[in-house]
Structure 1
């Protein structure tokens, strides 16, 4: 693995202009090209932040913002008090979601397997509040792990209100999509899902489930499914490894 420091002179001479968009994004594009074509090999150190700033006539803040984006993509690895190092020629493959319908949710679990760990009544103040129960009342809880691409990359925890959960058994969850099992075995139709995305870090139990480090970033997606008459039927918390999952949305311009 090369340990050399790449030269600024190997970068294309390009004037950065605010008229072409944010300066940090322009710098990011300039740095991505030599990383992708191997001119900046894996293991090589980038020039110092101050040198990059001087070369392009931009601020250190702009340089650091560009490098943060490259680090988030997995292309470089930042180091304390040292120049960043090229970590990969291309971003690692991530599983991207675009959740706009139940069909999109189904597509996100294609070729995956749901491994059931347990189904029992458990206390959850958050789920109890959603279902309109006393905080001390136990909800039915399904715990499982989603196996995708040959690895466990999602921890799934699903709660049901007592009147729904008592009608289900562990054996009823025979579909990778829990809401589809509920519809099939209870004859219900779920009309909509409210989706909330959170950033969390892995505790010891989650790290063991997902084969990651404790304290590592986790993408948590909460899905509250409601029936046609708007009754809450299922509350699912899916915790994904943030290094392999992303969530995307289409945002049309509705401002005249």
Structure 2
């Protein structure tokens, strides 16, 4: 694609007038082109280098714009390949509501868990959360969650020693791991705390999820407690941000008793 001075000027003008970052201007221009059909569904966008030349911005700026297009469902990126247009007008995605254990089960749905390892590992922060010495070795399950044959999340789960020691590797035949605890050990979950944050993909993420190092990752931590309020499981998920979205509800007025 030829370098367009008009495109570059549009990006710069958008930054000046709207006080918005350059990557949002690049995102907006590419999104508009996809919506009007300049880039058809199934077509490949130009490379990051070509787009950077076109808009006269850095590769990092272009990469941020492409990540946002992927998160909004317009394109799909793959490692060492050019982005492919997947939709001209992606449906609005509200995300998975996470307000109960049933919501967790619904979110996992028909996903498949492929176990990578089941072994003792040291993780000082998680040992601390369990109230154990920092050097304690914890039973850790590592696996990949896939849907329709495509990996979308890494799963890393630590168990309290007296729980993990009673679970053989073969017990983990359910992608909803807390159901394994209920079935195998009779443990019932009474309380779950969830923490969500954003990170950039590591080399392990890129290897297991087919993304690129530095792509957007949505990370979650779920802390499961039993009926005695004892922390029994700490589960981490690292999912491609383009395929993971969580929602909740905020109550702005008191509910009727």
- Scaled by the length of structure 1, what TM-score is found? 0.69
Determine the structure 2 residue equivalent to 1:197: 196
The CA deviation string for residues 56-80 of structure 1, in whole angstroms up to 9 with x for no partner, is xxxxxxxxxxxx977863559xxxx
Inter-CA distance 243–3: structure 2 relative to 1 (3 Å threshold): farther
What are the residue-to-residue correspondences of 1:7-156 with 2, within 5 Å? Answer: 36=35, 38=37, 73=72, 75=74, 89-91=88-90, 96-156=95-155
Aligned length in residues: 210
In structure 1, the partner of 2:14 is: none
CA RMSD, Structure 1 to Structure 2 (Å) = 3.8
1:95 Cα deviation from its structure 2 partner = 8.8
Q: Does 1:185 align with 2:181?
A: no
C-alpha distance in 2 between matches for 1:233 and 1:187: 13
Task: Please list every run of 5 or more consecutive structure 1 residues that lacks an aligned counterpart in the other structure.
Answer: 8-23, 50-67, 77-86
Stretches of 4+ aligned residues off by more than 6 angstroms: 2-5, 31-34, 68-71, 92-95
Counterpart secondary structure, 2:95? strand
Distance 1:255 1:34, change over 3 A: farther
Distance in 2 of aligned mates of 1:71 and 1:161? 38
Task: Decide whether the 8 Å contact of 1:95 with 1:245 is kept in 2.
Answer: no
* Contact 1:95 1:244 (C-alpha < 8 Å) held by counterparts: no
Q: Is the 8 A contact 1:152 1:210 kept in 2?
A: yes
Shift of 1:124: 0.2
For residues 161-176 of structure 1, the aligned pairs below 5 Å read 161-176=160-175
Change in 2 beyond 3 A, CA 1:215/1:35:
closer
Query: Alpha carbons of 1:253 and 1:186: their partners in 2 closer, same or farther (altered >3 Å)?
Result: same
Q: Runs of 5+ in structure 2 lacking a partner?
A: 7-19, 21-26, 56-66, 76-84
Shift of 1:149: 2.5
- Aligned counterparts of 1:70 and 1:145: Cα–Cα separation in 2: 25
Is the helix fraction higher in 1 or 2? Answer: 2
The CA distance in 2 between the partners of 1:168 and 1:244, in whole Å, is 31
> Structure 1 residues 169 and 75 mapped into 2: Cα distance closer, same or farther (>3 Å)?
closer
For residues 169 and 96 of structure 1, do their structure 2 counterparts lie closer, same or farther at Cα, with a shift above 3 Å needed?
same
Measure, in 2, the Cα distance between the counterparts of 1:188 and 1:243. Answer: 34
The 3-state SS of whatever aligns with 2:195 is strand
1: CA distance between counterparts of 2:203 and 2:149?
22
What is the match of residue 229 of structure 2? 230
CA distance in 1, matches of 2:135, 2:102: 35
Q: CA deviation at 1:36?
A: 3.9
Structure number with greater Rg is 1
Q: Hey, what's the Cα distance between the residues in 1 that align with 2:142 and 2:204?
A: 12
Deviations, residues 89-132 of structure 1 (Å, cap 9, x unaligned) = 22389692211111110001111111111111100011101100
Return closer, same or farther for 1:70/1:158 CA change in 2, 3 Å cut-off.
closer
